[in-house]
Amino acid sequence: MAGTTSLNKGSTDRTALTEKLGVDIDPELLELALTHRSYAYEHGGIPNNERLEFLGDSILGQAVTVKLFRENPGLDEGDLAKRRASLVSSVALAQVARSIGLGEYLLLGRGENQSGGRDKASILADTVEAIIGAAYLDLGGDEATALVLRLVEPLLDDPARFGAAMDPKTSLQEAAAHRGAGLPVYTVTNSGPDHSKTFHATVEVGDLVTATGEGTSKKQAEMSAALTAWTELTKRRARAPRG
């Protein structure tokens, strides 16, 4: 039982996380940012990270908008909006979260933990936003903005990702065709009550790659799975030896 409780609480040593974030956020605020509502409910209704998520979402959007506006003077409003959407989407933020191992530190309820909550795109994305909100409250706007830009920098440095993140299913289909594979095949299931369902998608690209994703809708789950599969195919192509 002790092991289960420890797992639900995530890693209590957050030194590695703060090093990856590049900011030393007040420990109490950071713990709040990592506290999912399922954990809060199981512990007597303690505060959870949803208010911080609300704040962080606004800071994230502003930081990314200003960055894109200043660095892309040739893009019109529509293109800027599409790029922003690709950078602040749940799919993109979940990938940012996975790159820093954020799932290890989440505070989850038992049920959420057992159902794979540490790798759920929606939970990971929300937690990234909550951490941004915590950084703003503790360290101010400049530090929070700098944190946002550090987190999304890998996405900004990969122009191909903009197209994939905006339409991952089409991008995956094109990548599969380029590799001589058939059309991607999706399988979707769902769980949870009618008012709060979670959809789980698996996509198979021949025998090349199988990836999963989840979301609050069938479309979101398929997009998450497709982007993960596209990313894996792209990495494999980059690693392939050149003749």
SS (H, E, C) 28-42: HHHHHHCECHHHHHH
Question: In which band, very low, low, confident or very high, does the pLDDT at 242 lie, cut at 50, 70 and 90?
Answer: very low
Confidence band of 171 (pLDDT split at 50, 70, 90): confident
Looking at residue 241, what is its pLDDT? 47
R_g over Cα of the chain: 19
Give the pLDDT confidence score for residue 166 in this predicted structure: 67
Identified catalytic residue from 19, 24, 71, 129: 129
Strand partners, 213: 201
| Active-site annotation holds for 104 | no
Q: What is the mean pLDDT of residues 183-197?
A: 87
> Torsion over CA of 15, 21, 26 and 28, rounded to 10 degrees?
-70
Under the banding of pLDDT at 50, 70 and 90, the label for residue 3 is: very low
Q: 126 a known binding residue?
A: yes
| Top-ranked range on mean pLDDT: pick from 95-99, 119-123, 147-151, 196-200 | 147-151
pTM of the predicted protein model:
0.74
Question: For 30-40, what is the mean pLDDT?
Answer: 95
Tell me whether residue 13 is annotated as binding: no
Q: What pLDDT does residue 5 have?
A: 41
Say yes or no to pLDDT of 63 above 60. Answer: yes
Strand partners, 171: none
pLDDT tens for 207-217 read 899 998 888 88
Does residue 26 carry a pLDDT above 80? yes
Distance of CA 35 to the CA centre of its chain: 16
Tokens 């790029």 belong to: 83
**Paired tokens of 7:** 């797992």
Q: Active site includes 57? A: yes
**Model confidence at 155: pLDDT above 90:** no
Catalytic hit among 24, 31, 42, 57: 57
pLDDT value for 168 = 83
Q: What is the pLDDT of residue 10?
A: 66
Cα three-residue angle 203-211-221, rounded to 5 degrees: 65
The strands making up 185-191's β-sheet, listed across from edge to edge, are 185-191, 198-205, 209-215
42 is in an annotated binding site: no
- Please say if the pLDDT value at position 19 is more than 70: yes
Burial of residue 159 (number of CB atoms within 10 Å: 0-12, 13-18, 19+): exposed
Q: Is the pLDDT of residue 1 over 80?
A: no
DSSP secondary structure letter of residue 51: H
Q: What is the mean pLDDT of residues 145-166?
A: 80
What's the pLDDT at 75? 87
